Chain A
Amino acid sequence: MSDGPEGNQANNANKKQILRFAQDDGLAQDDGLAQDDGLAQDDDVLAQCQLEIERAWNDAKDDAPVHRLAAAHPELAEQLYDFFADVIEAGDHLDRPRPEFAEMDRRVRDMLGKARHDDQPKEPKPFLGLVRDVTAKPIDAIAASMEVPLDFLVDASKNGTLLPLAARKELVRRARVITNFGGIDESEALASFDASSRLRRAASRDKAYAPSGVTYPGLVQRSSLSAAEKKFWLDLA
């Protein structure tokens, strides 16, 4: 900035802007800026004036508010007229080929795509996958820690939809015990039994797998659980 009156004015405006941002960001109290009179209020006034100006124009092509508001808030007059020019000129920018925006458009579309990808609901993991992610242990070690045979754990996870709620809860409880009740969200883990790994596998086939006809008691019976353990799990049905 120069040393002329415009330079001083711009520097003051700049300083005011900086102070305003600091105040908005909660620094005002720390830095003793709270006394800076009415800066945040200026922001509100400016926003309200802009809103009134644009709405009046859009509603009825009424240009009176910009003059009235500029007269009422002379410190904002330049900004208000500048904004009014934005409103009036908005249509001029439409449908004009602007090749210089091509690269920016690409960046924006990439950004939109990424935002959507991040917003996509994550495909729920089957129970065993969920526990493995949290514990970072091999599945045989997980099965041992949970005091169930590996084949039963894999089968239960793979056919999770067959499991009654009590059986699901028991498996989730054991999984949470081995993680010291940290890292596994109970409701997420319970829902994980509805994530069928069969669906994913069927996606690469011409047609879906036919229903296997297996039931929860059948799943328990065909496992390597001991008789006592089978009785325990069957009683949860």
Chain B
Amino acid sequence: MSASHAQATTVASHGRESPNERNERIFQSLPPLGSPAYLSLLKSATAAELPASVLVRAYRKLHPSAAADATLDRLLGHNRRYGYIALLYTTAQRRMARLEAYSPEDLVCDTIGEIVATLAGPAGEGAERAWMQYLRQRMEHAYRKLVGRREERLTLRVEPTSDETSDAYDPIEAAGAESIPWQGCVAPNNLEWLETFVQDTFAAILDDRIRAVALDLFSHSPMPISSDDPNDPNTLTGRFGVKRFTIYRWQRAARAILRAALERQNEREIDMSFLTLAT
């Protein structure tokens, strides 16, 4: 990751351009689409320098051509390096862990097949403005096709393998949810302000359980997520009667909500590295 990108994703400051403004600026600064300079850029630019939305827009303009193929290769075929579709992997892992007959990789492959089949056509319209939603939709289509049409077949394959399987696939588990999140990250003179900001931000969550887990996560003494006793009232799973996986999801949502709010505010510069995925 480039230093400038790291700065942009971890420090909140008001007045930064919106994602669409950034994408527009990048798109307008591209070399002529399909030119040798464009093809060279496809090989050299970081993902931060060439966001998925920009590639999608270029691909739709270039299709069909060899340059369009090169654009799609970069978008879909080099996730190890760029991570444009990393979301597909994590989502597929969450969904397919419960199925015996298929692997998350099967779902990812089928979803990519859906993308290849639709991105240049009407279903790909708007994908550059809502890439995440487009990916979700394609995965939904792929999932539907993969699990088949008959309810009996679905039922057989939706049998859980074990409680631990689904949790084991969850990438959020590694985030270390049971520690005070901003410890060591946020400057002491911002702590009091941040605590008030957290309270105000989470007040907007109308779902009682998600709000409670969010407030707990950013409290001075977060409650343990679980213990050996599934009904332990001193744990989040015991308190809410849900599995760890659900708590992880709510905590992930809480981080996203707080991060979004911090990006929007213009009162303080806050180091948000405690809210980003672990590197």
The count of A-to-B residue pairs whose CB atoms sit within 8 angstroms is 207
State whether A105 touches B83 (Cβ < 8 A): no
Question: A51-B126, A96-B86 provided; 11 other pairs, C-beta below 8 A?
Answer: A10-B243, A14-B158, A43-B140, A50-B133, A81-B253, A94-B48, A95-B5, A96-B279, A101-B86, A107-B109, A109-B77
Q: Would you call B168 an interface residue if the criterion is a C-beta within 8 Å of the partner chain's C-beta atoms?
A: no
A52 to B171, CA, bound (A): 26
User: B207's closest neighbor in chain A, by CB?
Assistant: A77
A81 to B264, CA, bound (A): 18
Residues of A within 8 A of B72 (CB): 112
Q: Would you call A55 an interface residue if the criterion is a C-beta within 8 Å of the partner chain's C-beta atoms?
A: yes
Mark B residues whose CB is within 8 Å of A. 1-2, 5, 9, 18-20, 23, 46-48, 51, 53, 64, 69, 72-73, 76-84, 86-87, 89, 91, 105, 108-109, 112-113, 116, 126, 129-133, 136-137, 140, 143-144, 147, 149-151, 154-155, 158, 160, 163, 204-207, 210, 230, 241-243, 246, 249-250, 252-253, 255-257, 259-261, 263-264, 276-277, 279
Q: Would you call A228 an interface residue if the criterion is a C-beta within 8 Å of the partner chain's C-beta atoms?
A: no
Residues of A within 8 A of B264 (CB): 61-63
Contact with B along A89-105 (1 / 0, CB 8 A): 11111111111111011
A21 to B73, CA, bound (A): 31
Minimum CB–CB distance from B82 to chain A (whole Å) comes to 7
Q: Would you call A85 an interface residue if the criterion is a C-beta within 8 Å of the partner chain's C-beta atoms?
A: yes
Whether A85 contacts B82 in the complex (CB less than 8 A), given A18-B151, A58-B130, A116-B69, comes out as no
Whether A92 contacts B277 in the complex (CB less than 8 A), given A4-B241, A71-B206, A107-B109, comes out as yes
A96 to B83, CA, bound (A): 7
